[in-house]
């Protein structure tokens, strides 16, 4: 007979190795989703105990107490207390501790005891503790705490055997003793908090012996990695390698994917009769979704780096080094890596903001992430720069084209900092800024299995998104660009008869003040799919065969049809333009609200308009009209 | 070492320099410019192990205004801004 599904929850402080234990127990049988209404990641997995019990395991957000000072911590508290909507009260709570660092976890465990839930303490990373000379009298600790204690080595095969055995044993007791103990938990006052920490310290003093010296490796690495100057250089070097990887290593894979989608599109084109279905599949579905999926290699590489650095223990150090530098603009130190990832693509950048636990800091970061010059803007920039900016040397050494490109990147960064600064002072004045208080964990060898699982779940999440929200957007944009169909014997390109053209024509008067003609307005509509699509769209509008491949040709045509002022205005527009439906869709998903998506769209649109307007008129005044 | 500590005048951890070692005397959340309410600040500090009697050492300082600081609190390392560290009175 199959036993009923049992529910277990993992609770622990940040850096307690909770996630590696979760990975060890559940393997790749994991589901990552959001808790309803909040942006907190909900990780659930399944496993079967040696005695055949089916267990569903939830990895709760790391916390130092049950006070619930952030949305993440509220989830942990509500889950343990059975107050979380749509969740069942866990049959057993496993409190996970880093064996080398028990103080904070033991205090948390003493607080957890008052919830009345069946509880066990897992001394994780027991091998590392032993090697460092930490000895724990497990039996005495269990007796002093009044809860079962088990050791585990999440990263070693068989390292969780004891834990599994104990789980079986406790679950059979939990069945019998269910409802025995009442929940007496309430928020602790400061004196109570202090008293529990004292109690925890007393228990540790009686049952654990600590080595004299701290981890020498961590101290040695930190002497360099946290050096005020040297540390920043190391951070820069790591970033350089990361950038290199994202742009250089991902390139062949991206070209391969792009070619595969083109080939698939071509196949559909050849197999199906000319008509709507053919156009829908080739231009709407395959090239639309394909233009987003080509970013998968970049997303995998970015998350590989992020997870490696996080696992190694470096992320907290990067936040430490960047905290004051970013703080000037009202950003949290932890916003650094997400913003950096946004240079590749805002989508992984926005997804990576999950490392920021404060909601306000996270929202600010999400709002400004699309201002970082993503790789999709590069084709547009390159096209316009090579068509309009002469490759002359400035001051004898710098290429003017390169200088303009650099200027565009710098403009993005500067405006992002400005926006963050303004958000801090106007939008979120009453919101409590998070102080920077963060444990700097000891360095650890990254565990490849855990990282592989992490990258895999993120890639899956991205693909699911590409398959749902983004797909829907692509279909809409295809529809706009294809309907109504051109009349019989039409001489102009088909897009000129479509809804996109009507929208373009309709908004063209609005864009005249910034120097855009109606052709640009029309190209901006399919450009909503992904920024670089605008290049192909311009080609289509000016009836040039070959789309993206004919970039040079498009450039020549543009140079003859646009003024320099128009070209510069379009560049300025593109620094800010909210022209990427997928980014907006991700913002909607990650913030859980249409409101923030709308805020992002409106503010970026306003900035784009203002920047293009100013650029156009200054350029005209200087004689470039 | 404890004798040395007792003869020194107490000072807020937020003013100490790199290399400083001492023992926590008490927490005084009232006198800081932290954006957190006093009770919240004190709770968070305790949750990170800043309790009376804990040994502290300032291991590292940031580049801008020597802020934030990395503090060894007994056997863990914690990063805090000096503004919040003002609540920890050490000697």
CB A548 within 8 A of CB A530: no
> In angstroms, rounded to a whole number, what is the distance separating the alpha carbons of residues A417 and A406?
17
Q: At what angle do helices A400-422 and A594-621 cross, to 10 degrees?
A: 130
Q: Give the pLDDT score at A396.
A: 72
Q: Give the pLDDT score at A463.
A: 80
In this complex, the residue of A64, A321, A433 whose CB is nearest that of residue B47 is A64
In this complex, the residue of A218, A316, A442 whose CB is nearest that of residue B79 is A316
Q: Give the pLDDT score at A580.
A: 79
Q: Least CA distance to A441: which residue of chain B?
A: B77
Dump pLDDT digits (tens) for A45-88: 999 988 888 999 999 988 898 988 777 788 899 999 888 777 88
Q: Give the pLDDT score at B1.
A: 47
B26 conformational bin, left if phi > 0, alpha if psi -120 to 50, beta if neither: beta
Residues in chain B with CB shorter than 8 Å from the CB of A64 are 44, 47-48
> In angstroms, rounded to a whole number, what is the distance separating the alpha carbons of residues A450 and A460?
15
Contact assignment for B78 to A437 by CB distance below 8 Å: yes
Residue to test with chain B: of A229, A440, A441, A443, most B Cβ within 10 A: A440
Contact assignment for A324 to B62 by CB distance below 8 Å: yes
Is B28 at the interface with chain A, CB within 8 A?
no
Query: Is B6's pLDDT higher than 60?
Result: no
Contact assignment for B36 to A319 by CB distance below 8 Å: no
Q: Give the pLDDT score at A466.
A: 66
Strand order in the sheet with B76-80: A437-440, B76-80, B67-73, B55-64, B21-27, B88-90, B11-12
> In angstroms, rounded to a whole number, what is the distance separating the alpha carbons of residues A328 and B67?
12
Q: Least CA distance to B67: which residue of chain A?
A: A324
Q: Least CA distance to B26: which residue of chain A?
A: A194
Count residue pairs from A and B with Cβ separation < 8 A: 117
Residues in chain B with CB shorter than 8 Å from the CB of A70 are none
Q: Give the pLDDT score at A57.
A: 93
Dump pLDDT digits (tens) for A460-489: 877 876 677 667 767 777 787 777 777 777
Residues in chain A with CB shorter than 8 Å from the CB of B41 are 435
Is B35 at the interface with chain A, CB within 8 A?
yes
In chain B, % helix, strand, coil (3-state, to 5) comes to 30, 35, 35
Q: Least CA distance to A15: which residue of chain B?
A: B76
In this complex, the residue of A197, A319, A442 whose CB is nearest that of residue B51 is A197
Contact assignment for B51 to A432 by CB distance below 8 Å: no
CB A316 within 8 A of CB A307: no
Residue with tokens 């091998």: A127
How close does chain A come to B21, measured CA to CA in Å?
Answer: 15
Q: Give the pLDDT score at B20.
A: 94
Q: Give the pLDDT score at A395.
A: 76
Residues in chain B with CB shorter than 8 Å from the CB of A436 are 68, 79-81, 84
What ipTM was predicted for this assembly? 0.91
Contact assignment for A435 to B83 by CB distance below 8 Å: yes
Residue to test with chain B: of A136, A435, A442, A444, most B Cβ within 10 A: A435
- CA-CA distances (angstroms) from residue A577 to A240, A527, A605? 27, 10, 6
In this complex, the residue of B43, B59, B78 whose CB is nearest that of residue A67 is B43
Contact assignment for A190 to B39 by CB distance below 8 Å: yes
Q: Give the pLDDT score at A299.
A: 75
A179 class by beta-carbon count within 10 Å (0-12 exposed, 13-18 middle, 19+ buried): exposed
Residues of chain A with pLDDT under 50: 1, 545-548
Sequence-distant (6+) residues with CB within 8 A of A179 are none
Residues in chain A with CB shorter than 8 Å from the CB of B83 are 435
> In angstroms, rounded to a whole number, what is the distance separating the alpha carbons of residues B15 and B86?
7
């Amino acid at each position: 007979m199959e036993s009923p599904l049992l529910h277990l929850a993992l609770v622990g402080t940040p850096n307690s190795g909770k996630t590696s234990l979760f990975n060890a127990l559940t393997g790749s049988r994991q589901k990552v989703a959001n808790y309803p209404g909040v942006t907190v990641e909900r990780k659930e997995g399944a496993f079967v105990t040696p005695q055949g019990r089916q267990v569903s395991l939830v990895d709760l957000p790391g916390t130092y107490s049950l006070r619930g000072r952030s949305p993440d911590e509220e989830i942990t508290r509500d889950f343990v207390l059975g107050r979380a909507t749509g969740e069942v009260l866990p049959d057993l709570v496993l409190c996970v501790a880093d064996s080398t660092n028990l103080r904070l976890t033991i205090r948390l465990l003493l607080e957890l005891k008052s919830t009345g839930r069946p509880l066990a303490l897992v001394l994780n990373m027991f091998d590392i503790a032993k090697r460092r000379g930490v000895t724990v009298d497990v039996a005495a600790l269990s007796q002093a705490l009044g809860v079962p204690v088990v050791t585990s080595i999440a990263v070693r095969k068989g390292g969780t055997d004891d834990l599994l055995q104990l789980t079986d044993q406790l679950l059979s007791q939990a069945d019998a003793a269910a409802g025995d103990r009442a929940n007496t938990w309430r928020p602790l006052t400061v004196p109570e908090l202090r008293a529990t920490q004292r109690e925890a310290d007393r228990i540790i003093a009686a049952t654990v012996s600590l080595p004299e010296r701290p981890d020498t490796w961590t101290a040695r690495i930190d002497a360099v990695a946290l050096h005020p100057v040297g540390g920043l250089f190391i951070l820069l070097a790591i970033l350089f390698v990361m950038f290199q990887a994202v742009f250089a290593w991902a390139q062949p894979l991206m070209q391969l994917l792009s070619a595969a989608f083109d080939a698939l599109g071509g196949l559909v084109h050849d197999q199906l009769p000319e008509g709507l279905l053919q156009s829908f599949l080739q231009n709407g579905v395959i090239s639309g979704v394909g233009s987003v999926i080509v970013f998968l290699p970049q997303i995998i590489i970015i998350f590989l780096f992020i997870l490696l650095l996080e696992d190694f223990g470096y992320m907290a150090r990067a936040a430490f080094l960047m905290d004051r530098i970013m703080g000037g603009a009202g950003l949290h130190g932890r916003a650094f890596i997400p913003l950096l990832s946004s240079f590749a693509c805002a989508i992984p950048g926005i997804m990576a903001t999950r490392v920021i636990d404060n909601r306000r800091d996270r929202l600010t970061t999400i709002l400004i992430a699309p201002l970082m010059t993503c790789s999709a803007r590069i084709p547009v920039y390159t096209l316009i720069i090579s068509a309009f900016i002469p490759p002359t040397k400035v001051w004898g050494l710098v290429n003017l084209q390169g200088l303009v490109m650099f200027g565009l990147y710098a403009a993005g960064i500067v405006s992002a900092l400005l926006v963050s600064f303004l958000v801090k002072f106007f939008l979120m004045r009453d919101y409590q800024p998070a102080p920077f208080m963060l444990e700097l964990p000891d360095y650890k060898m990254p565990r490849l299995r855990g990282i592989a699982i992490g990258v895999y779940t993120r890639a899956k999440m991205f693909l699911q998104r590409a398959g749902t929200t983004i797909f829907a957007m692509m279909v809409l944009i295809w529809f706009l660009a294809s309907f109504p169909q051109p009349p019989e014997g039409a001489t102009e390109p088909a897009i000129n008869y479509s809804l996109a053209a009507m929208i373009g024509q309709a908004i063209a008067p609005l864009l005249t003040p910034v120097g855009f003609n109606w052709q640009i307005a029309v190209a901006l509509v399919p450009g909503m799919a992904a920024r670089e699509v605008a290049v192909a769209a311009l080609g289509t509008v000016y009836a040039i065969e070959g789309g993206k491949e004919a970039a040079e040709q498009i450039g020549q045509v543009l140079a003859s049809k646009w003024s320099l002022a128009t070209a510069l205005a379009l560049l300025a527009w593109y620094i800010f333009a909210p022209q990427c439906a997928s980014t907006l869709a991700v913002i909607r998903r990650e913030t859980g609200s249409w409101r923030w998506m709308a805020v992002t769209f409106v503010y970026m649109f306003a900035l784009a308009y203002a920047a293009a307007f100013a650029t156009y008129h200054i350029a005209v005044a200087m004689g470039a009209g | 070492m404890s004798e040395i500590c007792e003869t020194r005048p107490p000072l807020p951890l937020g003013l100490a320099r790199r290399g400083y070692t001492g023992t926590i005397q008490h927490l005084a959340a009232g006198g800081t410019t932290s954006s957190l309410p006093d009770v919240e600040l004190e709770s968070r500090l305790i949750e990170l192990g800043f309790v009376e009697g804990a040994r502290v050492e300032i291991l590292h300082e940031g580049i801008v205004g020597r802020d934030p600081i990395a503090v060894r609190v007994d056997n863990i390392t914690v990063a805090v801004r000096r503004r919040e560290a003002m609540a920890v009175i050490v000697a």
